[in-house]
Amino acid sequence: MVGARILLESLKKQGVEVIFGYPGGQVLPIFDQLYDFDVKFILTRHEQGAAHAADGYARSTGKVGVCLATSGPGATNLVTGIATAYMDSIPMVAITGQVGTHLIGNDAFQEADVTGITRPITKHNFLVKDVKDLARTIAEAFYIASSGRPGPVLIDIPLDVQRADTEFIWPKKISIRSYQPTYSGHPGQIKKAAKLISLAKKPVIYAGGGVITSGADAELKELAEKIQVPVTTTFMGLGGFCGTHKLFLGMLGMHGTAYANHAIMESDLIIAVGARFDDRVTGRLDDFAPGAKIIHIDIDPSSISKNVRVDVPIVGDAKNILKQLISEIKKLPETALWLKTVEDWKKKHPLTYKDDSALLKPQYILQELWDLTKGKAIICTEVGQSQMWACQWYQYLTPRTFISSGGLGTMGFGFPAAMGAKLGFPGKEVFNIAGDGSIQMNIQELATCVANKINVKVLIFNNGFLGMVRQWQELFYKKRYSHTPITSPDYVLLAQSYGAVGMRVTKRSEVRAALQKAIQTKNTVFIDFCIAPEENVYPMVPAGQAINKMIEGLA
């Protein structure tokens, strides 16, 4: 069997349902095999779109996303997508063609050192120089991508290896001596954690993306309800705890709710589950939660004690550890008084915005979207203000319903990611919450959506600005709007020219009907919402400040 065929047979063995990619000179043998191979292949209009689509598929389904590109520019176009997946620990396998082994290092046409380029942004990568290693390498790549703390893995396959012939032998079991992730938590540490919890007066659970990766949402809920402790999630953790639950505080950090930030700052115990104390969460580190002891549950030891000092580190899988922790807690903490304090904060500092009948407010659009979908939709986002509003004004009830680039903050992510999510869940409504800046970064994927009948609904919050940067310029650079005003095409005509449906909404009264129409439309829909041009995202913690030093202005 030739290498190209071995690749596809191996992907089949891994249960791959869909591949996103783009052909080119150094992957011709693979595309020749794809011609009549039984797997869904989605031809994107840009390799970056393929990488983000594979990522969106992975985030929504929990399975490994797969993308495929040619050597050189095809591979370098994947780079942003791979880095995006890496920062958010998303399981992905990227396959790239490479020039023939005899040409490697010769500056051949469309040659790039892709394993070199992607080394710092992959969990691991491989250059397969011998076709005999190919099947095992693919099996290892999927294993590495999906186990432990997941991440993207790249396999670079030279042209001659794709053509070379060998017997297809699929490995029965994959075991890598230098890679043995820890899944079960240390019992002694769990006992210590249980004791700290029993004694706490003002505990907070701080849950991150690890809860979603691990599938620990049910255990998280059980723990929170058992010990009656408020829960805040990170951006990546949204959906890991029910967004309408009484104990939920919303997201914390730079654009988190005031009550989540106050609660974490005043707490005497932080129970961190699958979160990494990122700078957008902690604000100024020296001032972060000064009175709190910290229990940190994470599968990646290097996440622990990286940014904050941790009192009880527990390395392992969140689901396993939470289960053990729940049964280990015998004496419940007394939190009634604390919960009342938190409730008071909720009442005193609610999320709010100044509604205005003359101006279309993005928060209002999201409230209407929530009202129409009640958390059953998958919400993807681009990056910036629209993304932060989507965190604040839509409630995520279950894991994998909020899909957004967190760590890397990649503009242009949302639209192709929404395509991937829609392919993962054809029966669900998939929305992409976009700004007029971000949507123009991967707008070419409209063609992919229409050609493949991937009916995603793109809600463009069009304010004529690169809004988040403009907000910073307004607040910290004396309103010197340097290169943040941005023009757009006519999105209605643009959508139509691609064969999609375009709508424009300028008034508050038109929002609901437009959303309803979009939901009913069996096509890709772009809605151009002409929103208030200088609406800001609040609350906001200025960079380098403690997270309870928020600007809570009403815009």
Task: Please list, in sequence order, all residues whose beta carbon lies within 8 angstroms of the beta carbon of residue 173, skipping any fewer than 6 positions away.
Answer: none
DSSP 540: B
CB 6 within 8 A of CB 133: no
Residue closer to other proteins by CB (options 90, 342) is 90
* Beta-bridge mates of residue 297: 273, 314
- The CB-of-342 to other proteins minimum distance in angstroms stands at 32
Q: Which is nearer to other proteins, 285 or 332 (CB)?
A: 285
CB of 147 to other proteins, least distance (A): 11
Q: Pick the closest to residue 218 from 236, 237, 238, 241 (CA basis).
A: 241
Q: What angle do CA 197, 202, 207 make, to 5 degrees?
A: 70
Q: Which is nearer to other proteins, 171 or 301 (CB)?
A: 301
Q: How many residues bind other proteins (CB under 8 A)?
A: 18
CB of 114 to other proteins, least distance (A): 12
Bridge partners of residue 154, in order along the sequence: 94, 125
User: In the chain, helix, strand, coil percent, each to 5?
Assistant: 40, 15, 40
Which of 30/310 has CB closer to other proteins?
310
Least Cβ distance, residue 19 to other proteins (angstroms):
24
**Is 215 a residue that touches other proteins (CB under 8 A)?**
no
Answer yes or no whether residue 177 interacts with other proteins by CB under 8 A. Answer: yes
Residue closer to other proteins, measured from CB, 147 or 267: 147
- The answer to whether the CB of 405 falls within 8 A of the CB of 383 is yes
Cα–Cα dist 27/17, whole Å:
20
**Cβ of residue 148: shortest distance to other proteins, in angstroms?**
9
- Render 216-252 in DSSP notation, one character per residue: -HHHHHHHHHHHT--EEE-TTTTTSS-TT-TTEEEE-
Of these, 106, 184, 244, 302, which contacts other proteins (CB under 8 A)? 302
Report in angstroms how near the CB of residue 120 gets to other proteins at its nearest: 5
Cα–Cα dist 98/80, whole Å = 19
Residue 187 contacts other proteins per CB under 8 A: no
Pull the structure tokens for residue 354: 């100044």
Cβ proximity to other proteins: between 115 and 267 the closer is 115
Shortest separation between residue 478's beta carbon and other proteins, angstroms: 33
148 versus 230: smaller Cβ distance to other proteins: 148
Q: Name which of residues 46 to 85 contact other proteins (CB under 8 A).
A: none
Residue 93, amino acid? V
CA distance 552 to 61: 36
> Dmax of the chain from CA atoms?
72
User: Per rule CB under 8 A, is residue 176 in the interface with other proteins?
Assistant: yes
Report residue 419 as tokens.
Answer: 């395509």
State in angstroms the smallest separation of the CB of 140 from other proteins: 9
The residues facing 21 across adjacent strands are: 43, 68
Q: Which one of 222, 287, 300, 328 is in contact with other proteins (CB under 8 A)?
A: 300
Complex with other proteins: residue 245 or 306, whichever CB lies closer: 306
Letters for 131-150 (x = contact with other proteins by CB under 8 A, - = none) are -------------x------
Under DSSP, is residue 308 helix (H, G, I), strand (E, B) or coil?
coil
CA-to-CA separations, 110 to 33, 96, 125, 157, in angstroms, rounded: 22, 12, 19, 14
Identify which of residues 310 and 449 has a Cβ nearer to other proteins in the complex.
Answer: 310
Q: Candidates 202-210, 301-309, 455-463, 536-544 — which segment interacts with other proteins by CB under 8 A?
A: 301-309
Residue in this structure with the two tokens 């030279």, named with its chain if needed? 158
- Which of 299, 411 has the CB closer to other proteins? 299
What is the β-pairing status of strands 124-127 and 92-98?
unpaired
C-alpha distances in Å from residue 224, one per residue of 5, 171, 281, 397: 50, 42, 21, 15
Residues 95-134 that bind other proteins (CB under 8 A): 115-116, 119-120, 123-124, 127, 129
Nearer to other proteins, 116 or 544 (CB): 116
In whole angstroms, the minimum distance from the beta carbon of 180 to other proteins comes to 10
Q: Are 95 and 82 in contact (CB under 8 A)?
A: no
d(CA 488, CA 457): 18
Among 179, 183, 425, 472, binds other proteins (CB under 8 A): 179
The set of residues, in sequence order, having a beta carbon less than 8 Å from that of 158 and lying 6+ positions away, is 26, 97, 98, 99, 100, 101, 104, 127, 128, 129
Residue 309 CB, nearest approach to other proteins (Å)? 8
CA dist 419 and 450 (Å) reads: 11
Nearest distance, CB of residue 144 and other proteins, angstroms: 6
Q: How far is the CB of 179 from other proteins (least distance, A)?
A: 5
CB closer to other proteins out of 302 and 327: 302
Residue type, 447: A
Nearest to other proteins of 24, 316 (CB atom): 316
Closest distance of CB 115 from other proteins, Å: 6
Q: Which of 106, 184, 244, 305 binds other proteins (CB under 8 A)?
A: 305
Q: Give the interface segment with other proteins, choosing from 176-184, 255-263, 419-427, 490-498 (CB under 8 A).
A: 176-184
d(CA 199, CA 202): 9
Q: Give me the residues that bind other proteins (CB under 8 A), please.
A: 115-116, 119-120, 123-124, 127, 129, 144, 176-179, 300-302, 305-306
